[in-house]
Amino acid sequence: MASFLFFITSTIFTILVQAVLPVLAQTHPIHVKTCRSYCGNLTVDYPFGTRPGCGHPGFRELLFCINDFLMLHISSGSYRVLDIDYSYRALTLHDPHMSNCDSIVLGYRGNGFVVDPWRSPYLNPAQDNVFMLIGCSSGSPLFQGFPGKHLPCRNVSSMGCEDYYGCPAWKVIGPKRVGSVYGAGPPECCAVPFEAIKAINLTKLECQGYSSAYSLAPVQVDTPGRWAYGIRVEYSLSNNEAFCKTCEATGGSCGYDIEGVHEVCMCGSWNSTSNCDSGEKNFQTYLISFSPFIMDLGPNQSSHSLAQIKAVPSLGLGVLRPSRLCPLILQWTHITSGGHHRRILDFCDCLDDILLKLTELLTVTVADIF
């Protein structure tokens, strides 16, 4: 009797889903906002995004718009984005604790620049960007050499410490040592390209501060007061860009799925794995899926339930879960069943009204089933 009742319940639930969702889709259409956006005076376009699900997955959770200031966040810290050059695929970043020609900042206050390993195929400082490390100790890896090689200080794109010493800021901190690193001790400034050490970590390099400058014009500027100070970062897309071009050509916006791995084409109120002309417009196929996802939290944890529903994968009575829409706004809902607490994926907030209507129509008590 219990198994028969459960079969009837699961059948009713499935029928309700198939009957109610199309109606709700017409009365409560879901509109996915366009991914192109602005932050202050900067345009944020593909491959970047400030909204969940927008842009290329390699740049997810990278840019944030805070009080009309576009910020880039990586493991070494946060940087203000001064410019995005989509033609040359480069960003210009500013670290407020980075030294320049007018001010030397010491005390390990600067961020430096360390790229997360999984981002390194997509994001790295430009080759014509010089990092000038200041106040490094004699025990710094810069002067001891890295395994298998020696790392001398050198100019990058005709920019280096010899010219940087001519800045007014150096007159404030006192005399400078320009002798050999093997003789009179380490120099107060050591210029290196990023690719030589792969990370500007002031603590590990035992350097008190740093400066960064980059070259844009073919004609080099030899006056440090006229250098462009900041960090110029180049970005690239390692995979084929044909997907996004096709998506945009059919009126869609390029984004990624909830796992942050696969690209999707956002087509107004629905998502596609190819483009907006693919015909994948079946509301139920992309909006919901019956998921067998169940995780036991143990018998002693408390929870609040919307309904006492026992989700049994073998019978196909799963949990409604958006496949593509509303990424990153899924909520965990605790459901109590027979003294055991289960944690399952709930609807994202734009589908809450669907869940509430369904749970009002169907409440299954475990006592009646088992």
pLDDT at 200 over 80: yes
Same domain, 111 and 202: yes
Q: At which of 235, 263, 293 does a domain end? A: 235
Same domain, 93 and 157: yes
Segment 31-46 shows an average pLDDT of: 80
Same domain, 230 and 302: no
Same domain, 214 and 93: yes
| Range with the poorest average pLDDT among 117-131, 202-216, 241-255, 277-291 | 277-291
pLDDT band at residue 107 using 50, 70 and 90 as cut-offs: very high
Same domain, 163 and 295: no
Most confident range, picked from 130-144, 145-159, 282-296, 305-319:
130-144
d(CA 254, CA 273): 10
Average pLDDT along the chain:
71
The label of the residue with tokens 């991914």 reads 35
Spell out the residues 6+ positions from residue 58 whose beta carbon is closer than 8 angstroms to its own. Answer: 47, 119, 121, 122, 123, 237, 238
Residue 155 lies in a domain: yes
Same domain, 101 and 213: yes
| Range with the poorest average pLDDT among 143-152, 154-163, 197-206, 336-345 | 336-345
Residue 44 lies in a domain: no
Same domain, 105 and 179: yes
For 236, 272, 345, 364, the CA distances from 311, given in Å and listed in that order, are: 44, 28, 12, 11
Residue 77 lies in a domain: no
Most confident range, picked from 1-15, 273-287, 291-305:
273-287
Same domain, 310 and 226: no
Same domain, 132 and 222: yes
Neighbours of 179 (CB within 10 A): 11
Residue 183 lies in a domain: yes
- The whole domain housing 175 covers 88-235
Percentage of residues in the chain having pLDDT higher than 90: 38
pLDDT band at residue 307 using 50, 70 and 90 as cut-offs: very low
Percentage of residues in the chain having pLDDT higher than 70: 59
Tally the domains of the chain.
2
Residue 327 lies in a domain: yes
Segment 110-117 shows an average pLDDT of: 96
Residue 265 lies in a domain: no
Is the bond into 47 cis (omega within 30 degrees of 0)? yes
Same domain, 129 and 214: yes
Q: At which of 235, 263, 294 does a domain end? A: 235
Same domain, 171 and 95: yes
Query: The sheet that has 77-85: what strands, in order across it?
Result: 63-66, 69-74, 77-85, 90-94, 231-235, 123-125
Residue 196 lies in a domain: yes
Same domain, 213 and 304: no
Residue 226 lies in a domain: yes
pLDDT at 366 over 50: no
| Model pTM score | 0.65
355 with 346: CB under 8 angstroms? Answer: yes
